[in-house]
Amino acid sequence: MDKIIQDYDSSKQQRNQQTIKEQLLADINQWETKSIEQIRHNAEKARKDFIQLAKQSNTVTEETVKLLKQNYEDFRRELKKLSGIRLISDTATTPFHLIKIESSDKNEHDSATSPRQNAVTAKEKQSELVASNKMLQDDSSATQGSKPSCEPNLSIIPQSSKYPSITFGLTKSISKDIQNLFNKLMLLNPMDKDGPMSGKCELETDQMEKFLKKTFGFQNISGKYIAQGVKAFQLNKPVRSMSPNDQIHFPSDTTSSFAMTIQEIIDWQRSYKVYAGKQINGMTNGFLQKALQGQSDNGDEAYRMKFVVRISTCPILMEFDAKVIQRSTDEDWPNRIKLVSVTGIDFAGRKHDVGDIIVYISNWKEVFEVDRNKNEPALLNERDFALKRGGPSGILNEDRLLRDLTYMARLRLRACDEEGVQVVVETGIGLGVFSGKHIGVDTIVRTASAVAIRRVLEEDGPSYKNIRAVVFALPIFDKKRSGRRTDDTFDSFAHEFEEPHYTGRIPVLIADQDMHRLTVAIARAGFTVSELNPADSHGVFGEYWQNRGPAVEEKLALTTVGLLVQHHLINPHVQNTNNYYIN
């Protein structure tokens, strides 16, 4: 041990590490302050990469000593690598010069490190790096058989962009209309994240209830619920009882309203389709009929809903600024919008999704209190599982997680392609409160989600008949008390598409933007576009939309015609098995 420490001290004296570190960080910070907001992401990445390299070589802990015992030569290579770090101007990828951290042994760095933040403990940090590297290695091996693009991959943050955004795969071979579309999207006004729909949406809920009541005779059924906490209702004036030529207006008949005809609503309802995974045990028409009425059982049936994709034409009534979009019936752009409702993996720890906890958390018995009679997590109240006080962080079954996330992404993108979607707008499904931050697994879950959809795009992209581009709407919300941002879904997806370079034929835009704003702009540009609705495993569209505490799914119910076209109590096609495709 003394010899190891002596060698370490001797090696440490051979480098001027502190000077290098201070100078590089100073250069990065100086460059960042002179840059505009649109290149902030690149600056954050450069800083994280440098700090990660420095930490790997400079942190002397008990764990480090153990590693030195195992292979001291690895440590010497790290010293050599750090001495070769330099600041370079990345002029090849964008007209606005970016910077990045580069090691003199770049290949070794790429294979050895995959920086992540937000780990609760050092042990979790190590497990996250191992998991991420394993996913990247799996991803690389899975795509070796596909033919890479012969043109350089571009990661662009245009000088003219109005908000953080980054593109991948936007090569010269991509058609001009897609290139122009991406440029147009990056010039949209930034999302108002503190606007009227950032809270409980009281006014918007009242507005939708009044619209449905006045137009269709909506009323709740006293004492009846579709699922726990989900109010049942009826329409005293169903859509099909009205004249097809009747014109209605949301929220009311004014010059600034969204106009639509009854015939349009009927057509949107007829477009409803369900695509489900035949590889999943118990996936039958009977199950789908039951689940899409909110009657799926806790556990296995709720788990099964992750592999069910609901898709229909579904116009957007207003963006997340709560301003109604003025529309006359001679405008066709609303007919080019598809809503894709899909359930994500749920680590929030609730009894309906107990299957997710048992399937994906290998040490769930150490994380949660255990109900010995049922051999499952014990309940703290009617809905939530009880965490063990002082218990460990969760340990994920990473192979199963990545496999299922990949299958889920493949199903929904295939459904979009079958339904003629040209531009897919995705969001972080299951990556907010359901990602398992309270049990310490959220970082790995975000990484796995990004790896999964990237893999699908690279493997399946060449066979798509209609999909031409994918846009990820990933608003940046999280900030530390200092005002600096913490790592979030935007960063996770950007990193996983950057390293190793994305080689898919489908170009990708990752945007800190309102998904409604993106979707409407794409539809107005003449493309058939889909947007993703993070649905609940109960299978009821909009689920808790009347509870005035909406998550994304409930906000979609308040801002689209989704209740009219995807809710089983309004659209009879939801229960028509002729619309179900299990393949």
DSSP for 413-441, written as a single string: HHHHHHTT-SEEEE--TT-STTS-GGGT-
How many structural domains comprise the chain? 2
69/209 same-domain check: no
Rounded percentage of the chain residues whose pLDDT exceeds 90: 64
- Angle (CA) 222-228-231 rounded to 5° is 35
pLDDT tier at 75 (50, 70, 90 boundaries)? very low
Mean pLDDT of 6-32: 58
**Domain membership flag for residue 168:** no
Q: For 526-548, what is each residue's pLDDT tens digit?
A: 999 999 999 989 999 999 999 88
Q: Which residue has the higher pLDDT, 173 or 111?
A: 173
Name the least confident of 80-89, 232-241, 416-425.
80-89
Name the least confident of 25-34, 82-91, 403-412, 424-433.
82-91
Q: Which residue has the higher pLDDT, 53 or 475?
A: 475
80/190 same-domain check: no
From 79, 96, 113, the end of a domain falls on 113
pLDDT tier at 91 (50, 70, 90 boundaries)? very low
- Residue 442 in this model has a pLDDT that exceeds 80: yes
- Residue 142 in this model has a pLDDT that exceeds 80: no
Domain that holds residue 56: 2-113
Check residue 98 and give its pLDDT: 55
**Domain membership flag for residue 153:** no
Name the least confident of 6-20, 328-342, 406-420.
6-20
Check if the beta carbon of residue 286 is closer than 8 Å to that of residue 269.
Answer: no
Residue 568 β-bridge partners: none
**Domain membership flag for residue 294:** yes
User: In angstroms, rounded to a whole number, what is the distance separating the alpha carbons of residues 340 and 309?
Assistant: 7
286/425 same-domain check: yes
Rounded to whole angstroms, the maximal C-alpha distance in the chain is 89
> H helices of 217-349, where?
262-270, 285-291, 300-304
Q: Which residue has the higher pLDDT, 21 or 243?
A: 243
Q: Which long-range contacts (CB under 8 A, 24 or more apart) does 109-116 make?
A: 109/53, 109/81, 110/499, 110/500, 113/49, 113/52, 113/53, 113/56, 114/495, 114/499, 115/48, 115/49, 115/51, 115/52, 115/495, 116/443, 116/447, 116/487
92/221 same-domain check: no
**Domain membership flag for residue 177:** no
**Domain membership flag for residue 126:** no
Average pLDDT, the chain: 82
- Residue 150 in this model has a pLDDT that exceeds 80: no
Residue 230 β-bridge partners: 227
194/64 same-domain check: no
Q: For 259-312, what is each residue's pLDDT tens digit?
A: 999 999 999 999 999 999 999 999 999 999 999 999 999 999 999 999 999 999
| Residues in CB range of 67: below 8 A, 6 or more apart | 74, 75
234/323 same-domain check: yes
User: In angstroms, rounded to a whole number, what is the distance separating the alpha carbons of residues 527 and 332?
Assistant: 11
From 113, 143, 173, the end of a domain falls on 113
Mean pLDDT of 408-419: 98
104/193 same-domain check: no
Q: Which residue has the higher pLDDT, 52 or 206?
A: 206
Strands (E), 133-217: 165-168
User: Pick from 171, 176, 175, 123: which is nearest to 150 by CA?
Assistant: 171
User: In angstroms, rounded to a whole number, what is the distance separating the alpha carbons of residues 429 and 77?
Assistant: 40
Check residue 433 and give its pLDDT: 77
83/200 same-domain check: no
**Domain membership flag for residue 123:** no
Mean pLDDT of 66-80: 50
Angle between helix 202-216 and 552-559 (nearest 10): 40
Check residue 111 and give its pLDDT: 35
Check residue 484 and give its pLDDT: 54
55/193 same-domain check: no
From 90, 113, 136, the end of a domain falls on 113
Mean pLDDT of 570-578: 98
Q: H or E element: which one contains 82? A: helix 72-83
Exposed, middle or buried by CB within 10 Å (0-12, 13-18, 19+), for 32? middle
84/189 same-domain check: no
Mean pLDDT of 82-103: 49
- Residue 30 in this model has a pLDDT that exceeds 90: no
106/217 same-domain check: no
- Residue 123 in this model has a pLDDT that exceeds 50: no
pLDDT tier at 430 (50, 70, 90 boundaries)? confident
Does residue 164 have a cis peptide bond before it, meaning omega lies within 30 degrees of 0? no
